[in-house]
C-alpha cells in the first residue's frame, strides 16, 4: 500500500463496531486462548466514493502486550463504498486476557486523495465463566 504523505482524517467516513462476541469454539494457540469475533461496518456519509485500501489495528492487552496488525485491504478485499453506502464484515482476534482494540482504515477518494477514518476503541473482555 503506497500512501501520499498528506493524508487527512475524512469526516465522511465513519466506523461502527456492530458487535463483539466471545467465541470459545474457535481454535486458539495455548498462549492466547481467548477468541473474539467482531463485526464492523464502514459507512460513507460523504458525496464521493471511497475505496478502502488498508487498515491498522492496535491491540493493547491488559497484561501490557501490544500487537499491531497492518495490511492492504480489509478481509482480502478493497471495497468501494459509494456515497450513502456501507461495507460490513467480521473478523477475529485472539488474546491472552482482556484487551482494548482500536485502529484506522485507510482509503482513497475517487479523485485520488488519501484519507483515513478511526476505528473507535472497543474492549475484548473475557467472560467470568471462561
* Residue 27, C-alpha cell as written in the block: 481454535
pLDDT for position 9: 87
pLDDT bin (cut points 50, 70, 90) of residue 4 is very low
pTM of the model: 0.90
Distance separating alpha carbons of residues 117 and 55, to the nearest angstrom:
10
Residue 56 has pLDDT above 70, yes or no: yes
Most distant CA pair in the chain, distance:
51
Of residues 28, 34, 119, 21, the one with CA closest to residue 69: 119
Task: Give the domain ranges of the chain.
Answer: 8-124
pLDDT for position 61: 97
For the chain, the residue count is 130
Interstrand relation of 114-124 and 8-9 (parallel, antiparallel or unpaired): parallel
* Residue 51, C-alpha cell as written in the block: 475505496
pLDDT for position 116: 96
pLDDT bin (cut points 50, 70, 90) of residue 2 is very low
Distance separating alpha carbons of residues 22 and 38, to the nearest angstrom:
9
Q: CB-hemisphere CA count at 13 Å for 28?
A: 19
- Asked if residue 55 lies in contact with residue 42, where contact means CB atoms within 8 angstroms, the answer is no
pLDDT for position 130: 75
Question: pLDDT per residue over 67-103, tens digit each?
Answer: 999 999 999 999 999 999 999 999 999 999 999 999 9
Q: Which CATH superfamily is domain 8-124 in?
A: ApaG domain (2.60.40.1470)
Answer with the residue of higher pLDDT: 2 or 6.
6
Amino acid at each position: 500500500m503506497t500512501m501520499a504523505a498528506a493524508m487527512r482524517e475524512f469526516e465522511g467516513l465513519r466506523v461502527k463496531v456492530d458487535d463483539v462476541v466471545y467465541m470459545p469454539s474457535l481454535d486458539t494457540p495455548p498462549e492466547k486462548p481467548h477468541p473474539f469475533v467482531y463485526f464492523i461496518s464502514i459507512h460513507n456519509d460523504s458525496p464521493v466514493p471511497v475505496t478502502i485500501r488498508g487498515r491498522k489495528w492496535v491491540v493493547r492487552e491488559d497484561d501490557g502486550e501490544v500487537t499491531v496488525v497492518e495490511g492492504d485491504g480489509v478481509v482480502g478485499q478493497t471495497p468501494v463504498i459509494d456515497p450513502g453506502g456501507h461495507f460490513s464484515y467480521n473478523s477475529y482476534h485472539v488474546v491472552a486476557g482482556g484487551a482494548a482494540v482500536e485502529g484506522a482504515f485507510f482509503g482513497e477518494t475517487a479523485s485520488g486523495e488519501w484519507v483515513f477514518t478511526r476505528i473507535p476503541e472497543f474492549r475484548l473482555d473475557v467472560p467470568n465463566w471462561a
